[in-house]
Chains A and B, each alone.
Chain A
Amino acid sequence: MTDTDPGNDLWERFVSGSSSAFSELYDAYTDILYKFGMRYTADSELVKDCIHDLFIDLHTYRPSLAREVNVRFYLLKSFRRKLHAAHRRSSLLNLNRWNTDETFGVQALSFSIEHEIIVDEEQREMLEQLASEINQLPERQREILYLRFNQDLDYEEIASMMQISVPTCRTFIYRAIKQLRGKLACGSFALIILWA
């Protein structure tokens, strides 16, 4: 973790017991957490319940929390754990007891590429194809790609979040990319856009 999280200052005030910091923390991170949670389930009530529980935990255990953390990552990780637990509990309550479905991951994604960014019909087609392939990947692979490329987490962070080793995490990403075929168009406009 090379850069300091802008939330660090806020976090230290929070751990030191400032009640306004708690409120600021809620304001600053609730939207991020909500959007993140909605990737895992379409059930917005469940996501809100987990946000509720997470902040209640933070409030309860405030004195014993570490001061030096990457706040955003710390919250995302704890939040993902809560979502996972809630997901497991609700599938336990499911009548379909034999279907002990342990899958938990990022659901099928819908993308919106703005027109100004990609005008080329061919590239659009290629991205569309890739989008459909991403959505066919196993949930955990899709989740890793999401954490890496959308949330910009590094390998160590993803590995710790998903409870796998760093090399495994690395392999996972290679494998996912190798699996994606994505209709390849000639030309390199995609890269140009990436570096732009």
Chain B
Amino acid sequence: MKKRVRKSEHLPESESPDLSEDEKRIAANTRILMKSVQEEALPVLEKTALRLRMEETIELQGTRTFRGTWLAVAASVALLLVSVSGYFLLRQNTGSAMQEEASKLTFDTADTRLQLADRRIVRLSEQNADLVYKQDGLRIQIDSASVVEQRTADQAFNTLTVPYGKRSTVTLVDGTKIWLNSGSKLVYPSTSDGKTREVYLEGQAYFSVSHADDIPFFVHTKNMKVQVFGTEFDVSAYDDDPQSTAVLVKGSIELTANQKSFFGSKKKKLTPGTMAAYDPGTSELQTSQVDVASYISWKEGYLILNKVPLPDILRKLGRYYRADISLGSADARNMTFSGRLDLQEDIAPVLDIIAATTSLNYQQTERRFIFR
């Protein structure tokens, strides 16, 4: 709370002689709340950048005045018009614009799909598609075999949807590499403006962000925002998981959860080896020390499990293999499983291992598996 002492401290008497006791209390509480409004500070670097921009404008004005005030007026009108259209374009470049973009594309096919800035859709049938952006994002190398070129409109996005059963890696122009797990969507600007680096994620991804001192990299998800400068971490934000998590491998990240809640957009700085888990149901953000390997092993094609509840494992495998795996036995819901599952194998041998260790059986009908 700010300790700002100014006039008007004596609200109930001076302000509202005709308010009832209850209303006075409401006024007092309103003051308490208003004094504790969460404020978003201007980052120091941005403040400095803004000052420089201002000084440039002033210098520009200085040279103009020599040629007469009229020109200066005309120029500032032109500048104004430019900055107005600038607002409009900049407004697009936010997490929410990307979130909207993500909601437009569904996982309705078995292929990984890349939507380009010009709305063309490239289908990638490989199990693990590999995309590398080159030349400011205008050329995209796909699996070292083919190259796609895109025409770009300013600030437009590319969207990559990876269905269940597939994985994908993307290398952005700045060198940042992102591993996308099954059932994930990633939205990112089609070109880099060199000023901001922002992506929107649904599902799970592992980020290896290339370092840039003054350009933060933002990962937005439905309930979280992660800000980093250059580091490696995993973010998991599946709609059908009860929690969204971020696990930091090295460096540092700043995580903000649920910015819109009344009592807590919650901010946390993570240190390596820490997992932050946000539960939108209870609005709680908790951190714990974890064995990092078990959270990121999926990108190497195996799962390391350390006392993981069976339903969670089956949900993960279902995504990974695009199969519907359910648990028919209520007793088995509390079972946990530790060990290593090799996901390079087909689904059947993997499920066999689980069946053997849990002494359950499973029945298969096409892509449906039921454990009993």
| B-binding residues in A (CB < 8 A) | 2-3, 23, 26, 30-31, 34-35, 38-39, 42-46, 48-49, 51-53, 55-56, 59-60, 86, 89-90, 93, 108-114, 117, 124, 126-128, 130-132, 134-135, 145-146, 148-150, 152, 154, 173-174, 177-178, 180-182, 184, 188, 190-191, 193-194
Contact = CB atoms under 8 A, between A and B. Distances in A.
B25 A130 contact: no
Q: Give 10 nearest A-B pairs by CB, closest first.
A: A149-B34, A34-B42, A45-B90, A131-B262, A150-B34, A35-B39, A149-B31, A194-B28, A152-B6, A38-B40
B53 A52 contact: yes
Contacts of B85: 93
A110 B26 contact: no
Interface string B228-265: 00000000000000000000000000000001111111
A31 B259 CA distance: 20
B41 A31 contact: yes
Task: Tell me the interface secondary structure of chain A in the complex.
Answer: helix
B8 A154 contact: yes
19 contacts: A31-B42, A34-B40, A34-B47, A35-B39, A35-B40, A42-B94, A48-B50, A56-B57, A109-B34, A110-B262, A111-B37, A131-B263, A148-B34, A152-B4, A152-B6, A152-B7, A177-B23, A182-B25, A191-B25
A117 B1 contact: yes
B30 A145 contact: yes
Contacts of B26: 130, 177, 180-182, 184
Nearest to B51: A26
Nearest to A176: B30
A23 B52 CA distance: 11
A110 B88 contact: no
B147 interface: no
B8 to A, nearest CB: 6
B54 A152 contact: no
B41 A35 contact: yes
Contact of B33 (A30, A49, A134): A134
Interface of B: 1, 4, 6-8, 11, 15-16, 18-19, 22-42, 46-47, 50-51, 53-54, 57-58, 61, 80, 83-88, 90-91, 94, 96, 259-265
B15 A127 contact: no
A6 to B, nearest CB: 11
A78 B100 CA distance: 34
Given A30-B50, A59-B58, 17 more contacts: A23-B51, A35-B42, A38-B40, A43-B94, A109-B262, A110-B37, A111-B263, A126-B29, A130-B26, A134-B33, A152-B7, A177-B19, A178-B19, A180-B30, A182-B25, A184-B25, A194-B11
Nearest to A151: B34
Contact of A49 (B22, B37, B58, B83): B83
Contacts of A31: 41-42, 47
Contacts of B96: 42
Given A30-B42, A154-B7, A177 B88 contact: no
Contacts of B50: 30, 48, 51-52
Contacts of A46: 87, 90-91
A51 B51 CA distance: 10
Contacts of A60: 61
Nearest to B42: A34
Nearest to A43: B91
A34 B41 contact: yes
A26 B58 CA distance: 14
A2 B27 CA distance: 23
A35 B94 CA distance: 19
Nearest to A56: B57
Contacts of A111: 33, 36-38, 262-263
B54 A56 contact: yes
Contacts of A190: 25, 28-29, 32
